[in-house]
């Protein structure tokens, strides 16, 4: 037992002596351990032989152990020992291996990709929901718009029905006025009141009004085409009505004169003769300046209005004419022969009346149709009645 203790003691000293060697102080010189409470960086100087000792500054902030010799466990060179026993510090966590780092990176990349996929899905779902909402809104809005347009078309059909009926009433009134004018002319009376009435009578259905009524309204074609046709014909009737009114106004003076002269005929024209060189004798129709009655004595001479032509042009000039009785038809003064009124009436007043009757007849046929033709469709009035019936049916869908 004693030998064992002695051996252990020697071994401990050997170890202590071996571990306390200082590389800076030389071999065999022990390095004292730091004294608790001493200032860092100072070490006690061993006795130099005179029994005095003093603290001297260290050459370096810390004392490094010699190369190849580790400091005692728990001790750090240059750091003073705590007053109590030094506790063993907890070892640092082990560094992750390359495999673990690779797994971590790979897992992070996978998570990152999954997050991207999730974000894309969320964006797609959001966009799909938005598109679905837009589609539903469009369908609902479109259905409502179609419903609104349909309701507007129905209302418009009802309004147009009333307007077509109103236009037809004016057409009937116009046809009556034209008939009255024709009857007055047959009775050789001028229809002055008809002219006044025609001036204030307008068929209230034109292209501008139709465009305002059906603009933006989805009316079926079976209504639009008859409406356009009806509108065009109404415009033609309005134009023809104005022409008839103007024509009547222009014919008042000649017609009144004609009817008056029918009761007391007068000579309005005469024929004069002239020689055309070696070719022969010519007759010329000229108006009498002052017509004279047929039933009274005819004057031996009277004034005619003869056209004279020159380099400056043609103009009417008054010429004294001798009524032809016998012998030569030409002379120094013009020889005139009165023209029978009935023979020239066809080229003046009667022709004028015929044209006026034709205008009245044609306009009435546009409105009422040709009543003498059994195959006639009935004119614009009949078209308006049919159109009003169709519009009324469309309005009943309200």
Task: Specify the DSSP class assigned to residue 265.
Answer: -
Do residues 148 and 244 share a domain? yes
Q: What integer is the mean pLDDT of 127-146?
A: 39
Do residues 203 and 127 share a domain? yes
Q: How far apart are alpha carbons 88 and 91 in whole angstroms?
A: 9
Last residue of a domain, one of 326, 342, 358: 342
Q: What is the pLDDT of residues 341-383, one digit of tens each?
A: 888 887 778 888 899 999 999 999 999 999 888 888 889 999 9
Look at residue 283 and tell me if it is in a domain.
yes
Can you give the pLDDT at residue 99? 44
- Boundaries of domain holding 282: 267-342
Look at residue 9 and tell me if it is in a domain.
no
Give how many domains the chain has, as a whole number.
2
Do residues 283 and 337 share a domain? yes
Do residues 349 and 389 share a domain? yes
3-state SS string for 185-249: HHCCCCCHHHHHHHHHCCCCCCHHHHHHHHCCCCCCHHHHHHHHHHHHHHHHHHHHHHHHHHHHH
Cβ burial 270-307 (10 Å sphere, 16+ → b, else e)? bbbbeeeeeeeeeeeebebeebeeeeeeeeeebebebe
Say which residues have a Cβ less than 8 Å from residue 294's Cβ, sequence separation at least 6.
265, 266, 267, 341
Cβ proximity of 232 and 366 under 8 Å? no
Q: What integer is the mean pLDDT of 75-86?
A: 50
Q: What integer is the mean pLDDT of 136-141?
A: 37
pLDDT-derived band at 274, boundaries 50, 70, 90 = confident
DSSP string, 309-363: EETTEEEEEEEEEEEP-SS-S--SSPEEEEPPHHHHHTTTHHHHHHHHHHHHHHH
Do residues 190 and 329 share a domain? no
Look at residue 20 and tell me if it is in a domain.
no
Can you give the pLDDT at residue 181? 94
Look at residue 78 and tell me if it is in a domain.
no
* Positive or negative: CA dihedral 153, 154, 155, 160: positive
CA R_g for the chain: 67
Can you give the pLDDT at residue 105? 42
Can you give the pLDDT at residue 226? 86
Q: How far apart are alpha carbons 220 and 130 in whole angstroms?
A: 36
Do residues 239 and 228 share a domain? yes
Whether 71 has a pLDDT exceeding 90, the answer reads no
Look at residue 262 and tell me if it is in a domain.
yes
Question: Over the chain, what is the mean pLDDT?
Answer: 73
Do residues 138 and 252 share a domain? yes
Whether 79 has a pLDDT exceeding 60, the answer reads no
Q: How far apart are alpha carbons 352 and 251 in whole angstroms?
A: 7
Q: What's the CA angle centered on 12, arms 9 and 14, to 5 degrees?
A: 110
Whether 146 has a pLDDT exceeding 80, the answer reads no
Q: What backbone torsions phi and psi does residue 305 show, to the nearest 5 degrees?
A: -110, 105
Q: How far apart are alpha carbons 223 and 391 in whole angstroms?
A: 7
Do residues 376 and 250 share a domain? yes
Do residues 259 and 364 share a domain? yes
Whether 314 has a pLDDT exceeding 90, the answer reads no
Q: What integer is the mean pLDDT of 269-276?
A: 87
Do residues 337 and 207 share a domain? no
Look at residue 37 and tell me if it is in a domain.
no
Can you give the pLDDT at residue 221? 74
Q: What is the pLDDT of residues 2-25, one digit of tens each?
A: 455 444 445 555 555 554 444 444
Q: How far apart are alpha carbons 374 and 378 in whole angstroms?
A: 9
What is the chain's percent helix, strand, coil content, to nearest 5? 55, 15, 30
Whether 321 has a pLDDT exceeding 80, the answer reads yes
Do residues 242 and 279 share a domain? no
Look at residue 5 and tell me if it is in a domain.
no
Whether 137 has a pLDDT exceeding 80, the answer reads no
pLDDT-derived band at 143, boundaries 50, 70, 90 = very low
Do residues 301 and 323 share a domain? yes
Whether 114 has a pLDDT exceeding 60, the answer reads no
Look at residue 80 and tell me if it is in a domain.
no
Rounded to the nearest angstrom, the gap between the alpha carbon of residue 84 and the centroid of all alpha carbons in its chain is 97
Q: How far apart are alpha carbons 108 and 128 in whole angstroms?
A: 30
Last residue of a domain, one of 342, 372, 387: 342
């Amino acid at each position: 037992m004693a030998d064992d203790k002695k051996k252990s003691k020697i071994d401990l000293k050997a170890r202590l002596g071996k571990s306390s060697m200082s590389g800076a102080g030389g071999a065999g010189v022990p390095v004292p351990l730091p004294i608790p409470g001493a200032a860092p960086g100072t070490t006690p100087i061993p006795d130099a032989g005179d029994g005095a000792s003093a603290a001297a500054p260290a050459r370096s902030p810390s004392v490094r152990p010699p190369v190849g010799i580790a400091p005692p466990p728990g001790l750090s060179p240059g750091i003073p020992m705590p007053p109590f026993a030094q506790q063993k510090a907890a070892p640092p966590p082990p560094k992750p291996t390359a495999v673990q780092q690779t797994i971590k990176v790979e897992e992070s990349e996978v998570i990152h990709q999954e997050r991207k996929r999730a974000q894309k899905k969320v964006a797609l779902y959001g966009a799909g929901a938005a598109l679905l909402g837009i589609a539903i809104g469009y369908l609902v809005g479109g259905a409502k718009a179609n419903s609104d347009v349909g309701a507007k078309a129905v209302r418009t059909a009802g309004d147009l029905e009333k307007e077509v009926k109103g236009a037809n009433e004016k057409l009937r009134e116009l046809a009556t006025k034209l008939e009255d004018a024709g009857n007055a002319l047959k009775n050789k009376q001028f229809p002055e009141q008809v002219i006044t009435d025609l001036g204030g009578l307008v068929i209230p259905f034109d292209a501008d009004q139709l465009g305002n009524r059906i603009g933006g309204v989805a009316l079926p074609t079976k209504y639009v085409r008859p409406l356009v046709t009806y509108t065009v014909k109404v415009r033609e009737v309005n134009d023809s009505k104005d022409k008839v009114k103007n024509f009547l106004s222009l014919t008042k003076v000649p017609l009144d004169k004609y009817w008056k002269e029918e009761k007391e005929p007068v000579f309005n024209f005469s024929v004069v003769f002239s020689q055309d060189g070696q070719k022969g004798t010519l007759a010329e129709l000229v108006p009498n300046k002052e017509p004279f009655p047929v039933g009274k004595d005819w004057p031996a001479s009277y004034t005619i209005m003869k056209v004279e032509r020159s380099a400056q042009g043609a103009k009417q000039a008054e010429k004294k004419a001798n009524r032809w009785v016998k012998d030569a038809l030409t002379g120094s003064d013009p020889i005139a022969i009165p023209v029978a009124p009935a023979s020239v009436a066809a080229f003046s007043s009667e022709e004028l009346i015929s044209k006026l009757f034709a205008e009245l007849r044609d306009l009435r046929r546009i409105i009422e149709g040709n009543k003498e033709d059994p195959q006639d469709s009935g004119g614009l009035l009949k078209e308006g009645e049919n159109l009003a019936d169709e519009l009324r049916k469309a309005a009943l869908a309200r």
